[in-house]
Amino acid sequence: MVWKEYRTIFKYFLQVLLLVAFGSAVIFGIGYWRYYGSPDYKELKRLEELRDKYMADTYGGSTPEETLQLFIDALKKGDTELASKYFVLDKQSDWQNKLEKIKSGSLLASMIGDLSRPNKNKYAISEGQVAFDVVNDKKELILTISLGRGPNGIWKILGM
């Protein structure tokens, strides 16, 4: 008789335990599904993919000056595709189009001349970002070039 009572209690205990385990699994599954479908998760994945692209990007120099010189050298060769690769990834196609227009308008030599001016004023914008102010012979500002260091240590042109 006592054995039957223990058996009944054990049976109900197992049923409650299985119900709690099933409920927990359902709640966990819903949370898991909602997280992987959420905009936060998608943004995190996009940022991870962008970071991986920057880590794989080898165009640029170990210093801002080196990157700027590589950019000028590519322009001197007339290679606008290579020159655009020294910009940050999300601006490369825009700058390739702009550089093609500059090249087709016969303004590339003028741009190279401005970029090659010896009196560039370099200053830090923030940690990992610098800018160069290019001035003409009258000491007037004609161009500001900003560069930033990527996660792989390579310097890229942010804008001009």
**In the predicted structure, residue 112 carries a pLDDT above the cut 90:** no
Q: Which of 80, 77, 82 is nearest to 102 (CA)?
A: 80
* Model pLDDT for residues 32-72, shown as the tens digit of each residue: 888 787 888 889 899 899 888 888 888 989 999 999 999 99
What pLDDT, on the 0 to 100 scale, is given for residue 1? 59
What pLDDT, on the 0 to 100 scale, is given for residue 118? 76
| Mean predicted confidence (pLDDT) in 73-101 | 92
Residue-wise burial string across 58-96, b where 16 or more C-beta atoms lie within 10 A, e elsewhere: ebbbeebeebbebbbebbeeeebebbbbbbbeeebeebb
For 140, how many CA atoms within 13 A lie in the half-sphere containing its CB? 2
- CATH assignment of 55-159, among 3.90.930, 3.10.450, 3.30.70, 3.30.160: 3.10.450
Whether the predicted model's global pTM rises above the 0.75 cut: no
| Mean predicted confidence (pLDDT) in 70-75 | 93
What pLDDT, on the 0 to 100 scale, is given for residue 31? 81
Separation of first and last alpha carbons in the chain: 90
Helical H runs in 62-123?
64-77, 80-84, 92-104, 108-115
| % residues pLDDT > 70 (the chain) | 99
Host H or E run for residue 138? none
Could you tell me if 129 and 148 are in contact, meaning their C-beta atoms sit under 8 angstroms apart?
yes
Number of CB atoms found within 10 A of residue 123's CB: 9
What pLDDT, on the 0 to 100 scale, is given for residue 117? 80
| Mean predicted confidence (pLDDT) in 85-107 | 90
